[in-house]
């Protein structure tokens, strides 16, 4: 399956190893999964390595029980000279239950060179505002 540059969709099964003592996805694990989706979306658009510069906001909207399938969707919503804003949403579903938005976050990513210094993103992607 091919997705446009700057977009990503991943699926994860919430296993007990990712759960807290309530039997739901531990928030730190949810944040890690969102950060990975943001990284993949940004790297896909920049076509080079990226680093996270910041997290503008993260919302945990509902608990995600063990056994749920978590679908994470990320897309680059803004492209600057070397930075990008990446939006990520998480939908949880279980058999017989409609998907529910359970996570969302906004991440600031920066394209970097081999030395870790910011580097310009190709002009064809700059100054774009996009939504999925």
pLDDT digits (tens, 9 = 90+) for 106-122: 999 999 999 999 999 98
Give the C-alpha separation, 77 to 109, whole Å.
11
Asked if pLDDT for residue 131 goes beyond 70, the answer is no
Q: Kindly list the structural domains of the chain, giving each domain's residue range(s) and its CATH number in brackets, ordered by start.
A: 7-125 (3.10.129.10)
Give the C-alpha separation, 67 to 12, whole Å.
10
* Residue 5 pLDDT: 83
Q: Where in 14-119 does DSSP place strands (E)?
A: 50-60, 69-79, 83-94, 97-111
Q: Average model confidence (pLDDT) for the chain? A: 92
pLDDT digits (tens, 9 = 90+) for 22-54: 999 999 999 999 999 999 999 999 999 999 999
Asked if pLDDT for residue 130 goes beyond 90, the answer is no
* Residue 43 pLDDT: 96
Sheet arrangement for strand 69-79: 7-13, 69-79, 83-94, 97-111, 50-60
Q: In terms of pTM, does the model score above 0.75? A: yes
């Amino acid at each position: 399956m091919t997705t446009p540059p700057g977009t990503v969709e991943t699926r994860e099964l919430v296993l007990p190893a990712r759960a807290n003592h309530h039997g739901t996805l531990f928030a730190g694990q949810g944040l890690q999964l969102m950060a990975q989706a943001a990284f993949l979306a940004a790297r896909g658009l920049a076509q080079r390595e990226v680093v996270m510069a910041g997290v503008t906001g993260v919302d945990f909207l509902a608990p995600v029980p063990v056994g749920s399938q978590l679908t994470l969707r990320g897309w680059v919503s803004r492209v600057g000279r070397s930075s990008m804003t990446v939006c990520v949403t998480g939908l949880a579903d279980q058999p017989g239950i409609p998907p529910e938005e359970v996570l969302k976050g906004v991440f600031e990513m920066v394209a970097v060179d081999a030395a870790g210094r910011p580097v310009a993103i190709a002009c064809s992607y700059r100054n774009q505002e996009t939504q999925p």
